[in-house]
A = this chain, B = another copy of it.
Amino acid sequence: MAGRKVLIVYAHQEPKSLNGSLKSIAVEELSKQGCSITVSDLYAMQFEPRATRNDIVGCLHNSEEFNYGVETWEAYKRGSLSSDLVEEQKKVQEADLLIFQFPLYWFSMPAIMKGWMDRVLVQGFAHEFPNCYDSGLLKDKLALFSFTTGGSKEMYAKGGISGDIRYLLWPMQHGIMHFCGVKVLAPHICFAPEYVSEEKRKEMLIAWAQRLKTLWNEEPINCSPEWYFK
């Protein structure tokens, strides 16, 4: 949809990877629709994942006992968060849709992307009690988790050895995005691309491009325990 803004937070080391291609296809397809796209290419940016005192410029609120949550909240209010965080927060603020593109590492996102969540979505900016979940500060935004797995679809089926893939989406979709008020579109999952044919991988790319064509018509999922654990 022309005019819509999309932030793609992308975590893969290799541009030639399937994740790299999925990211490029999203840029291409959404640009064609007239959207404006920003990509945070975390590895290329050498994005810092560690939550430390360096995230606060100048003096601390309480230098006797460092509390990251309190310090970043206070720093947000007085405009003294480190510039890399401010930059990411601006991108989030402007976006209508956040796409997270990554390979699944240990039933979750890679540490570099978890660090983006830990450091960017600070209290005051993304949530501020009681403004969380449905009244989170990032409401009116959409998010979509797009990722590749090592395990097969069968391993991630209900009753499969790795359990229903939805089980592992709970912390990311409910615990992070829903907590900030963001509405979540159905995840986009490419199962075990390393173990399929080149042709099958091409089909995965085509399927993603196809989905993006009508993405703006999709309804968010119902982000309740029933969706995950039914």
Contact = CB atoms under 8 A, between A and B. Distances in A.
Given A13-B52, A51-B112, A106 B118 contact: yes
Interface stretch (A75-83, A90-98, A168-176): A168-176
Interface of A: 13-14, 16-17, 43, 46, 49-53, 64-69, 105-108, 110-112, 114-115, 117-119, 121, 133, 150, 161-164, 167-168, 170-172, 174-176, 179, 194, 225, 228-229
Number of copies: 2
A7 B14 CA distance: 33
20 contacts: A13-B51, A14-B67, A16-B64, A17-B65, A17-B67, A49-B49, A51-B105, A51-B112, A105-B117, A106-B118, A107-B170, A107-B171, A107-B176, A108-B114, A108-B175, A111-B118, A112-B115, A115-B115, A164-B225, A168-B170
Contacts of A121: 106
A179 B168 CA distance: 14
A228 B110 CA distance: 23
A43 to B, nearest CB: 7
Nearest to A20: B65
Contact of A171 (B13, B53, B66, B108): B108
A18 to B, nearest CB: 10
B161 A49 contact: no
